[in-house]
Structure 1
């Protein structure tokens, strides 16, 4: 694109770029929290992170986290911070289990990402093989998909957090597991994610990446990380699949 590119031309170029990504994708790897739903829409991530910090403080472990880490609004960041100090320890295992329970609670108030349900069902009906590759608990993913009637679109390919926290994205472990178990060549796969860690994991796994940024800030973070194609809605993907764009 050039500074003289018109808005219609820009939209046409973006649609063509999107079409190329979609048409070559025989296997689609979805991140969970973001592209499929807003898991912490009701049971907020900020509250969960605060509870993690309070739980540590009650055990006299306040100094295990830096001041910056204690202010983190992301429970996964708190979990990672503890893991760095006590990798593989009982404390990390218990904190991870508590996070899993909070994620299961969050499922009940999660907001479906607009157009995600019909996109998933359409892609599945058209013969694409779908998987979830996420840092969230696979139990929470399964619970949410069952509540939306989407389980058969993914089963059994749900690859989430394990106790091996060093393998969380941006490590490509969960993507490689999905590719291996589906018998997929990375060149035939597409990862849809909403965080730089998703983009980095996809690059390491040799998988094409499509960014989903539901607002300008999230989209900018993805483009700054290097993502070449970012959408702010799942609707353009659905239109391309249905031959409406």
Structure 2
């Protein structure tokens, strides 16, 4: 979609601006960030980040952070969450969150755009649909990526990411609640696009419709197993296709 076409769409007034999405009552789309918008850690591997976070912790704390099967921890947010459970609100948690934020900002510099994400974002904004990022990542990293790729203007500042308390990470619906509050949209008028069970659970708690995104069959199986109704392996690049997927979510 060209910028001139998007501008023409924004100039329209009233319900007609939403076009095909008005038929499925979509007035806001909430995007998870890492996955649906970009591959944040494609060139700044998450397992390496997790290892650096663990190495920065005192040994007695690092020993308590592990996986159920004893395999190495590869998710940096799992490290933050685990430490947050040990000492909620403590200085160690704040320090670890700050380290993770800096790692994510570096990752945002080389993050790889998700196929069709930019096209879908531009089409939604051009149709007058409110957009927001609802993520467990740092809002500073999200904004850096959006600025680097020219997408920041489409979100109008609606970036709702990690706060200092890891207990508010999804599946807690905190970031979705903030997005709905500040966009002025009801849960029934929103759709979340996410790639993790935590995204689904957060959406479920608020009554937000959920469209799953997964490029691997294993992740798709997890989402379907968790109760997702529709999971796509590629984002739609137009609103008609998105409306069809949302309608399918509502019918099942």
User: TM-score under structure 1 normalisation?
Assistant: 0.85
SS in structure 2 at match of 1:130: strand
Per-residue deviation, 1:67: 6.5
Aligned partners of 1:238, 1:27: CA distance in 2, in Å?
13
Seen in structure 2, the aligned counterparts of structure 1 residues 173 and 87 have a Cα distance that, compared at 3 Å, is same
Whether contact under 8 Å (2:38, 2:111) holds in the other structure is yes
- What RMSD over aligned residues (CA atoms) do the two structures have, in Å? 2.2
Per-residue deviation, 1:156: 1.4
Aligned partners of 2:71, 2:57: CA distance in 1, in Å?
10
| Structure 2 stretches lacking a partner, 5+ long | 1-19, 245-252
For residue 107 of structure 1, what is the aligned residue in structure 2? 108
Seen in structure 2, the aligned counterparts of structure 1 residues 70 and 93 have a Cα distance that, compared at 3 Å, is farther
Whether contact under 8 Å (2:24, 2:243) holds in the other structure is no
| Structure 1 stretches lacking a partner, 5+ long | 1-18
Per-residue deviation, 1:228: 0.2
For residue 86 of structure 2, what is the aligned residue in structure 1? 85
For residue 169 of structure 1, what is the aligned residue in structure 2? 170
1:1-245 to 2 correspondences below 5 Å: 23-57=24-58, 61-66=61-66, 68=68, 71-235=72-236, 240=241
Aligned partners of 1:87, 1:140: CA distance in 2, in Å?
23
Whether contact under 8 Å (1:70, 1:78) holds in the other structure is no
Whether contact under 8 Å (1:30, 1:36) holds in the other structure is yes
Aligned partners of 1:119, 1:221: CA distance in 2, in Å?
25
Whether contact under 8 Å (1:35, 1:116) holds in the other structure is yes
Per-residue deviation, 1:23: 3.5
Deviations for 1:128-178, whole angstroms, at most 9, x for unmatched residues? 000000000000000000111111111211000010211110001110111
Seen in structure 2, the aligned counterparts of structure 1 residues 184 and 239 have a Cα distance that, compared at 3 Å, is closer
Per-residue deviation, 1:71: 1.4
Per-residue deviation, 1:238: 5.2
Per-residue deviation, 1:65: 2.4
Aligned partners of 1:241, 1:122: CA distance in 2, in Å?
11
Seen in structure 2, the aligned counterparts of structure 1 residues 212 and 67 have a Cα distance that, compared at 3 Å, is closer
Per-residue deviation, 1:124: 0.6
User: TM-score under structure 2 normalisation?
Assistant: 0.83
Per-residue deviation, 1:60: 5.2
Q: Tell me which moved more, 64-73 or 198-207.
A: 64-73
SS in structure 2 at match of 1:136: coil
Q: Tell me which moved more, 195-204 or 163-172.
A: 163-172
SS in structure 2 at match of 1:52: helix
Seen in structure 2, the aligned counterparts of structure 1 residues 70 and 95 have a Cα distance that, compared at 3 Å, is farther
SS in structure 1 at match of 2:73: coil
Aligned partners of 1:22, 1:98: CA distance in 2, in Å?
45
Whether contact under 8 Å (2:132, 2:160) holds in the other structure is yes
